Chain A
Amino acid sequence: MEKPIEGEKKVFMTGNEVVAWAALAAGAEIMYGYPITPQNEIMHYWTRLAPKYGRMFLQTEDELSAGFTTIGGVMGGRRAFTATAGPGNVLMQEPMAMAEMMRLPVVVIIMQRGGPSTGTVIYSQQEVTLTTLGGNGEGFRIVYSTASNQELFDYVIKAFNTAWKYRFPTFVLGDGYQAKMREPLVIYDPEVRGISPVPAEPFLGKPGVPGVDRPPGHYRNTYNTEEELYEVIMGLARAYEAIIPEVVEFEEEAVEGAQLLVMSHGVVSRAAKSAVRALRRDGYPVGYFRPITLRPLPVEVMRRRAKEVRQILVAESAYGQFARLVKEALYGLQVEIVPLFRPGLGINPEDIYSRVQELIKGGEKGAGHIAATHA
């Protein structure tokens, strides 16, 4: 069968369309899904494209079912994925907790919309807590937060390999703006970039007699005693912590000599980067730092950078969900954390530029600041 993308090519696409192409290029075999704005077009494009390349689609009755059928696909050895947003992401947490417990390589694309509840169908960064730590578990999952349609393409491809390599549920966290905006990017056949697919294999129905020809597969989400569960969770924790150094990703710029660091993630980091460049040009000692993995966070480098500055401005389109993760990572350090929170609203370079200018010019303490913790 022909490849979905030969070589590479420049395109001008919406984020949702990009996700569908990336999933095809990554060798995803089946998508399970239930419609919700702003991710609907991922399904639309997938259902249009998938049959041409021998891939499959199942529309389920809700997101609970979409999550569990994705688990089923994965257990059957398929590169399976789903996509959702907002209230759908809430329902998705039940199956994702199961995937965490059983270490299943499911891939989920999230296009954040405004919340709580139905909120808006448009945009926010308010699904950070839910996506990084949702479910009745410990957050043993990997979350990439993308900033552009190019990154949506890159990280959707990467998510499948991360999931199948490390066997933890893997999320690509986008938002309604990225979902609906069109911008230029390069799509490619992963092979031309030296990326080969980590092979998928079935968890169930393997050949041979369990316990005789091969170790039996115990895929459980239910345990009888506290001690039994404790052992399993501690095993998961050790496995998760061991992969952190290999998995974490971040981007930084102008951190040398910075007195103030602007921290952001996802689409807001574009505005942050643009503002920091302008501030630097105008002589302000400001740096830019952006974790790409929100879970696990690049804690080591974040702490190193935090020690070099006096203040950190955390900019996010939520009321402190990302800041909470940052504060946990920086626990015990003497650095002031100043919020720029605009829940459900976009953040422009001018917003960051003027806030930083106020902070530096006035030698001002961040009004209503949430100091990180003290040593």
Chain B
Amino acid sequence: MKKPLKIVVAGEGGQGVQAVAEILAEAAYDEGKEVLYIPAFGVEQRGGVSLAYLQVGDEPIPAPKFEKADIVVALSGRAVRRTRQYVGPETIFIYDTHADVQEEELPKEAKRLIPIPGIEVARKELHPRVFNILIMGALIKLTSIVGLEDAKRALEKRLGHRFEKDPSLRELNYRALEKGMALVS
């Protein structure tokens, strides 16, 4: 089976998890890739872990969801616990060092565990609002599903109207992307 790249992004509501997946999906779609993005949805109106499933490949994506992911990004303690089921021996597991998680809760079976201080860096060096863009930077660096320029174009498409009003926002988002890339290189 020629397999698409399978990604799960999970975090608390408000961390911008769905936006990361959506922007990446848009960027990959604009590059002519086969893409399928679906959020987890349930009956909860608030308080749940937010999950996004994203698959990118060269052939049509065979199923909306999947058993094991190639990459899992977990941005909170609950997200770490909730995403364990998607981790297998081939999975790269990225988690935020700020996540409230016990050492033994981390999925040791993963191929690689990558802790990143995303929340802290965003807060101290950028702005908490661009935390998810920093995560997006980390993801594009790890996956190369799209290049930095493609990601910037996708950001422009989505946030261009805000960048127009305040050009410093553009610069802030770009820096977040680059910072995120640097965190995993």
Q: Does A373 contact B (CB under 8 A)?
A: no
A window 333-365: CB within 8 A of B: 346-350, 353
Contact with B along A226-259 (1 / 0, CB 8 A): 0000000000000000000000000000000000
Q: Are A278 and B1 in contact (CB under 8 A)?
A: yes
Judge whether A180 and B38 touch: CB under 8 Å.
yes
How far apart sit A155 and B69, CA to CA, in the bound complex (Å)?
32
Inter-chain contact B35/A271, CB cutoff 8 Å: no
Q: Secondary structure of the B side of the interface?
A: loop
| A120 CB contacts on chain B under 8 angstroms | 42-43
Task: Give Cα A274–Cα B61 distance, bound, in whole angstroms.
Answer: 9
Task: Check B1–A182 contact: CB distance below 8 A.
Answer: no
A184 at the interface (CB under 8 A from B): yes
List 7 additional contacts besides A273-B62, A346-B64, A346-B65; criterion CB under 8 Å: A121-B43, A148-B60, A180-B39, A181-B64, A182-B25, A182-B37, A183-B61
Q: How many A-B residue pairs have CB under 8 A?
A: 71
Q: Does A122 contact B (CB under 8 A)?
A: yes
Q: Which residues of A contact B41 (CB under 8 A)?
A: 37-38, 121-122, 176, 180
Interface residues on A, range: 20 to 34
Q: When the two chains form their complex, are residues A182 and B65 in contact, meaning their CB atoms are under 8 A apart? A: no
User: Are A346 and B63 interface neighbours, CB within 8 A?
Assistant: yes
The smallest beta-carbon distance between B27 and chain A, in angstroms, is: 11
User: Which parts of B45-95 form the interface with A (CB within 8 Å)?
Assistant: 60-67
Q: Is the CB of B38 within 8 A of A274?
A: no
A184-B34 contact, Cβ under 8 Å, with A12-B26, A177-B65, A267-B63: yes
Q: A177 CA to B66 CA in the complex, in Å? A: 12
Which residues of chain A have a CB within 8 Å of any CB of chain B?
12, 37-38, 120-122, 148, 176-178, 180-184, 267, 270-271, 273-275, 277-278, 346-350, 353
Q: List 11 A-B contacts (CB under 8 A).
A: A121-B41, A177-B38, A180-B39, A181-B36, A182-B35, A183-B35, A183-B36, A184-B29, A270-B60, A271-B63, A349-B62
Contacts of B38 in A (CB 8 A): 177, 180-182
- Nearest CB on B from A260, distance (A): 17
B1/A12 in contact, CB under 8 A: no
How far apart sit A181 and B25, CA to CA, in the bound complex (Å)?
11
Which 10 pairs, one residue from A and one from B, show the smallest C-beta to C-beta distance?
A274-B62, A181-B38, A177-B64, A278-B1, A12-B29, A271-B63, A183-B36, A182-B37, A348-B63, A346-B65
